[in-house]
Every structure is written in C-alpha cells, then in structure tokens.
Amino acid sequence: MAKKGRVFSGARPTGKQHLGNYLGAIKNYVALQNDYECVYCIVDVHALTTVETTQDLKQNTIEMALDWLAAGIRPEDSILFVQSHVKEVMELHTYLSMVTQFGKLTDLPTFKEKVRQQPDNINYGLVGYPVLMTADIVLYKSDIVPVGIDQAPHIEFAREIVRSFNYRYNTKALVEPQVKHTEILKVVGIDGKDKMGKSLNNHIELAVTAEETVKRVREMVTDPARQRKTDPGNPDVCNVFTMHKIFSPQEEIDMINTECRKAGIGCVDCKLRFASNLNKNLEPFRAKRAELESKTDYVNDVLIDGAKRARTIAEKTMAEVREAMKMP
C-alpha cells in the first residue's frame, strides 16, 4: 500500500522507557508505521544541551532502542537511527542558523522554561535547539511531525526557517513540515500529581519484572480524600482508575467504578488488580525485549543499518542545499 508521506520524530536517549513514554509517544510511533514511512531518531546531540557528561549516552541509547523495538517499531519498515551517526545534520544546522533570528529563539516559551530549569547552564546549544530540531526534520524531507500541543510552536518555527531558507536561496530544496497533532494524554506518575518522568522518580518502567511492577503500583497515590477502606472513593480523581481504563477489561473497569464509590473495593485490591492487568499487557513486550537483548549486536546492527538508510536521504538533501547556496 502506498504510504501517505514521511513522518519524523525524535526523542532524547533517556534510557529505559516508562509508561509515560509508552502511552505518550511509543504507542503512537508504532501505529503510524501502518500509514507512513517513518523515521525515528534518538537525538543524542540534543541531549548534550542538558546533560554535561556523555558517560551514559551510549547505554541509554541502546536501552531506549530496545524498548522501542520490543514495543513494535519495525526496523524493516521504519528507519531507526541515532542523530549523531549522520553528521550532515550538523552542517545543515549551521546553514539554517544563518536564516534564523536570534530574538525569536530566545522568545520561545520552551527556551524560557529551560532558563528557569538550569540557570547555571544556559549554553548556546540550548538557544539553538529548535534550529537543530528543524535540521533533523528537513534533512529527511519529512512531511509530517507528530507532536503534542506544547511542541506545535517549534514546528511552526521550523516552517518559518524553511521559508526563509528557500526564499533567500531561491530554491525548493527544503520541505515545510506539517504538524500532526497527536492526542497525547499526560500520564501522571505514581505520586498521583506530577507528569510521570524519571527526574521525579515517579515512573513505572516497562522493562522491570512483574514483581517490581507490583511493588511500584502499590506505591501509587489514590484518591487523597479516601482515608480508610470503609470511606467511599472517587475514581474520577484517582490515577489508578485512569490506568485501569487503559489496561483493564471493560467489566473490571465498570465494577471498580461502581464499587469504589460505595467502598465495596479497597485501594490495595484495586491496585493489585491494575498491576496484574498491566503485567499481562506487558508480557509480550517483556518477552520480546529479552529475546532481542539476548541477540548479540542486534540493536547495534539495527542502528547502523538505520543510519545508512538515513544517510542516503541526508546526502541527497545536502547536495541540493549546497547547490542552492552555491557552497562547495
């Protein structure tokens, strides 16, 4: 079947993935493969804007790729590769930076947020992050970038850079990417309040054992107003119930919805049921991950092959870019 276009998405190598990554990104990556030619990139260079050591980059890249592959990214259909393996992106980034206004970069809300987060490390790369992101997208002539609503300004920004470049050099070499808004539900962590993430240690990793999953799920915060088992609870404000709605069979969801409200089921029971359903859902993923992990060099080979295929596209784009710019 003819594909509808080329999708590009990148994520920083954060190592083993958690439920937030899965529900917010990976699940969507897997689904997009059916209709689009997909290019998925582990953006290790971007990671350097926030981490000051490269010590864990390689291992984190492998762990993340393993999770993506085990979750259903098909390397025979999609290109899965590491950003720094295709050096052309650095060259394109430099050229694009010359058609980008500095003031616009420093005005972006994401930049202002980073300044708040790491006031002692406002590096030049951090300011240029959206330019490198644009280089990633356009180097692979991507038509579509699936993003949540908060990232949409970056894609609009990328479109502006493309227009400036194409106008300045009177070319059509670069393609303006389109946003594909994805319904990214914000997965809340086990603390029941913040977005699930590694930095807050409120996450549940996909690749942990069934026993560790149970342990982690038992720590989940439920309806804070429910103090005792005999108090009725409110599933509408309970993160465990939100998770049940994703991972449990409908009749169990209905049962909990009714029983919780009249204190017919306690939080511990409810959590154990969720843990059990989550483990059942993750079983095939975990088996596949173990299988891939046992194959020596498998992930490395996938990434090397991905880089080769990505490079073929990148070299062609750069040849057009240099020609338009009359650069050697």
Q: Which residues bind ligand ADP (CB under 6 A)?
A: 11-12, 14, 20-21, 23-25, 148, 184, 186-187, 195-197
How many angstroms separate the first and last alpha carbons of the chain? Answer: 39
CB of 19 to ligand ADP, least distance (A): 8
Residue type, 42: I
| 8 Å CB contact between 15 and 60 | yes
Q: How far apart are CA 284 and CA 63, in angstroms?
A: 17
Residue number, 21 or 83, with CB nearest to ligand ADP = 21
**Please, how many CA atoms are within 13 Å of residue 168, restricted to the half-sphere of its CB?**
16
CB of 186 to ligand ADP, least distance (A): 5
Least distance CB 193 / ligand ADP (angstroms): 12
The tokens 């970069």 sit on which residue?
105
At closest approach, how far in Å is the CB of 158 from ligand ADP?
16
**Amino acid letter for position 179:** V
* Smallest separation (angstroms) from ligand ADP to the CB of 187: 4
Q: How many CA atoms lie within 13 A of 15 on its CB side?
A: 11
What sections of the chain are H helices per DSSP?
19-21, 27-32, 44-47, 57-71, 88-97, 102-107, 109-117, 124-139, 152-168, 210-218, 239-247, 250-261, 267-294, 298-325
Q: How far is the CB of 109 from ligand ADP (least distance, A)?
A: 15
> Which tokens in the block code for residue 260?
């919780």
Residue with smaller CB distance to ligand ADP, 20 or 306:
20
Of 243 and 260, nearer to ligand ADP (C-beta) is 243
Q: Which is nearer to ligand ADP, 21 or 248 (CB)?
A: 21
Q: Which is nearer to ligand ADP, 10 or 266 (CB)?
A: 10
Task: Kindly report the number of other CB atoms within 10 A of residue 96's CB atom.
Answer: 24
The closest residue (CB) to ligand ADP is 24
Between 99 and 237, whose beta carbon lies closer to ligand ADP?
237
The alpha carbons of the chain give a radius of gyration, in whole angstroms, of 22
Task: Please state the closest distance from residue 213 (CB atom) to ligand ADP, in A.
Answer: 17
101-105 LR contacts (CB < 8 Å, sep 24+)? 102/127, 104/157, 104/160, 105/130, 105/131
Indicate the residue among 23 and 240 with the shorter CB distance to ligand ADP: 23
